[in-house]
Structure 1
Amino acid sequence: MSAAVLLTRSDADNQRLASKLARFGIPALSVPLLRIDALDETPDQQRLMLDIDRYQAVMVVSPVAARLGLERLDACWPQLPEGIEWFAVGETTASVLRAYGMPVHTPEAGQDSEALLRLPIWNELLARPGLKVLVWRGVGGREHLADHVRAAGGQVDYLELYRRESPDGLAAALASAEQAGARGIVLTSGQGLEHWYTAAGEHWREQSTWRCWVPSQRVADRAQTLGCNDIIVCDGADDSAVLAAVAAHPLTR
């Protein structure tokens, strides 16, 4: 039985990446670690969208946030509001926004808020009095960008569009993947890591020996704390970053 890489995004995303890995002769399995539940729009959230032209910048943190946010934007704005700088965390997220017709800022290196803040345009934005930034995201998340904006006297608001839950039957799916030859796992978030750790249960001793491809040093540090010791840090979480890292560090068993 050849060793396989376990992909952990949605089934559709996993199938797309699996076909790319197959070109390198790398077998892959699919077990989503997150179930995405879209949230109903509240009156406060609708006001945020109706008043989106009051923001100088909008940051979109994921392809899911982009798709759900654009659905709401389309219902409120027949044309794109002007005067907004759009930012995307990762090229996959940026491609969703560009397909809608938006000019998007995204870093060439790195796929997190730290990389976004290194873009030169933030020097100008953070110098503006009364800067207002809106973040499209799921429930919860890191506050790195918000801390920087607030430290400069600006305001950050959140449009929370979805909730990430652990899928039903995850423990059994992980055990089946292990039986089918999974010996490595691609993680795209810290929350996915936590879901894996919890669901693995009594199998964690074996699964923690798998090679882990992670999107950032922050997730790598947490994985190491949980007992993982074969960790590869990718340059982000999108297909190109994962493909490059898995191809450069393939499984050998």
Structure 2
Amino acid sequence: MQDCQILITRPEPENSLSCERVRTHGWVAVPLPMLEISPIEEANKKAAIRAQVFDIDTFDYVIFVSKNAARLACDWLDDCWPMLPASVHWIGIGQGTTQTLLDEGVPALSNPGHTTEALLDWLKPARMKDQKILIVRGEGGRPELGNKLEERGAKISYLSLYERKKPQYSAQTFFMLPDINLIWATSGESLLNLSEYVSKNKLGWKALPIMTPSIRVNQQAKEMGWINASCANGADDNSLIKATELHTGKQND
């Protein structure tokens, strides 16, 4: 399956970067983002964001839940903090998010795993008591991380920097796509949006191999009727490429 055609569902700008990586492996990348990331633009919300960023040195930990959260936060940090406060522990969930921070000069650490659940295992309960933690995310993100940390005695605040929207595609969009051999679904929300479109326009895709980033999302895929879902153990390109290589290798055996 050297000419494997892979549907990439990441939001932009990450989608284009993933497509480049896929092409370097000799595969065909077919971009179809299943999330749109829109930075917060309302004046009152931007003023509130600025105030929170100026107060970021009052937190013990700042946790970034995605590459988009990291990328947008770095723009705000550049604007508000010419030198980053040394007292803050910066943490990215997953290698891709952490690398985004490191590339922007933020000395971030990453938990050994790739998920919220892995991060919670890594952050020892005794260490979290009375710690002030800021979670940087999109509006309406999953509450599990904050809830679990509060159970451990931490004091949680949120910094929401973007909105996530479902892209609008017509039936014609799906009709014009080339044949797809494999799909990358990199979050639960993108999987949900993809499943809704597939149920209306490409029901046969439910039998295709689909790579998911975590056990949680893989289980969601199976519950949505994807009969060939595999867990890549990470949403980053390296994890998904490795899982794809394993799959295509088995197909070629």
Q: Do Structure 1 and Structure 2 share a fold, with TM-score over 0.5?
A: yes
| Equivalent position of 2:56 in the other structure | 52
Structure-1 separation of matches of 2:151 and 2:90: 21
| Equivalent position of 1:207 in the other structure | 205
Change (3 A) 1:95 1:250: same
Structure-2 separation of matches of 1:139 and 1:172: 31
| Equivalent position of 2:132 in the other structure | 132
Change (3 A) 1:241 1:191: same
Structure 1 residue matching 2:149: 3-state secondary structure: helix
Of residues 121, 125, 131, the one that matches 1:118 is: 121
Structure-2 separation of matches of 1:112 and 1:185: 20
- Give the partner amino acid of 1:67: R
Q: Name the count of aligned residue pairs.
A: 247
Structure 1 residue matching 2:181: 3-state secondary structure: strand
- Give the partner amino acid of 1:146: G
Single out whichever of 69-78 and 167-176 deviates more from structure 2: 167-176
Q: Normalising by structure 2, report the TM-score.
A: 0.88
Structure 1 residue matching 2:207: 3-state secondary structure: coil
Change (3 A) 1:105 1:118: farther
Structure-2 separation of matches of 1:210 and 1:8: 14
Structure-2 separation of matches of 1:176 and 1:207: 15
Superposed CA RMSD in Å reads: 2.3
User: Residue deviations 1:42-81, cap 9 Å, x none?
Assistant: 4332222111111100001111111111111222222101
Percent of paired sites with the same residue = 29
Structure-1 separation of matches of 2:162 and 2:70: 11
Runs of 4+ aligned residues of structure 1 deviating over 6 Å after TM superposition are: none
- Give the partner amino acid of 1:214: T
| Equivalent position of 2:166 in the other structure | 166
Please report how far the alpha carbon of residue 204 of structure 1 lies from its aligned counterpart in structure 2 after TM superposition.
4.3
Gaps of 5+ in 1: none
Structure-2 separation of matches of 1:143 and 1:5: 31
Of residues 243, 246, 250, the one that matches 2:244 is: 246
Gaps of 5+ in 2: none
User: Residue deviations 1:149-177, cap 9 Å, x none?
Assistant: 21122211111111111122264433322
- Give the partner amino acid of 1:126: M
* More relative contact order, 1 or 2 (CA 8 Å, 6+ apart): 1
